[in-house]
């Protein structure tokens, strides 16, 4: 059974602030190999929800360089996962800038290049300009309007789904006097 828990935006932002200008040694750095931006954003989202989706091919997880999904490191794949995810892990919908919150994902598009960059929204200036954290072109509190792009999209993280043990197993065992099955 899946339950939805709150996406802890402050944790995602705290992670982004700690690691935007350096690298967490638990993850491979893809800078120079296509970019590290979506890998970094995925790490921050994971910090905000602590739940991966281990569905082969279409899930969202990272265990090692060779045990990960394309959605963990690819801009378009992350978008597809977040928008379509009905299983464990974070899920999102696209919103206008006015509805984006800190901890949400921003993606940038350039003609001839496509959707090429993922950033984490970490704050706003006094005039309402988004501030981002990113890797590949390491940035912390960089104004979104300093990037060169043709279009943007804002992905609001609605929550995180997590598997919980099926309580039916507990009920049947308890009713039959067979076992106490703790919910851990």
Q: Please state the domain extents for the chain.
A: 2-176
pLDDT of residue 184: 43
Tell me the mean pLDDT per 10 residues along the chain, length 184: 95 97 96 93 97 95 95 98 98 98 98 97 97 97 98 98 73 67 52
pLDDT of residue 91: 98
pLDDT of residue 179: 65
pTM score above 0.85:
yes
**Neighbouring C-alpha atoms within 13 Å toward the C-beta of 50:** 4
pLDDT of residue 176: 72
pLDDT of residue 147: 97
Is 92 within 8 Å of 82 (Cβ atoms)? yes
């Amino acid at each position: 059974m899946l339950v939805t828990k709150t996406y802890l935006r402050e944790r995602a932002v705290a992670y982004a602030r700690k690691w935007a200008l350096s690298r967490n040694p638990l993850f491979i750095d893809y800078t120079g190999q296509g970019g590290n931006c979506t890998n970094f954003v995925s790490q921050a989202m994971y910090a905000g929800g602590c739940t991966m989706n281990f569905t082969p091919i279409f899930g969202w997880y990272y265990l090692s360089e060779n045990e990960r999904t394309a959605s963990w490191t690819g801009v378009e794949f992350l978008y597809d996962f977040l928008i379509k995810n009905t299983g464990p892990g974070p899920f999102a919908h696209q919103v206008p800038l006015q509805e984006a919150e800190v901890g949400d994902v921003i993606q940038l598009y350039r003609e001839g290049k496509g959707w090429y960059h993922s950033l984490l929204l970490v704050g706003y200036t006094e005039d309402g300009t988004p501030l981002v954290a990113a890797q590949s072109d390491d940035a912390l509190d960089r104004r979104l309007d300093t990037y060169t792009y043709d279009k943007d999209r804002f992905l609001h993280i609605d929550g995180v789904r997590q598997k919980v043990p099926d309580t039916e197993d507990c009920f049947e065992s308890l009713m039959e006097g067979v076992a106490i099955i703790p919910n851990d």
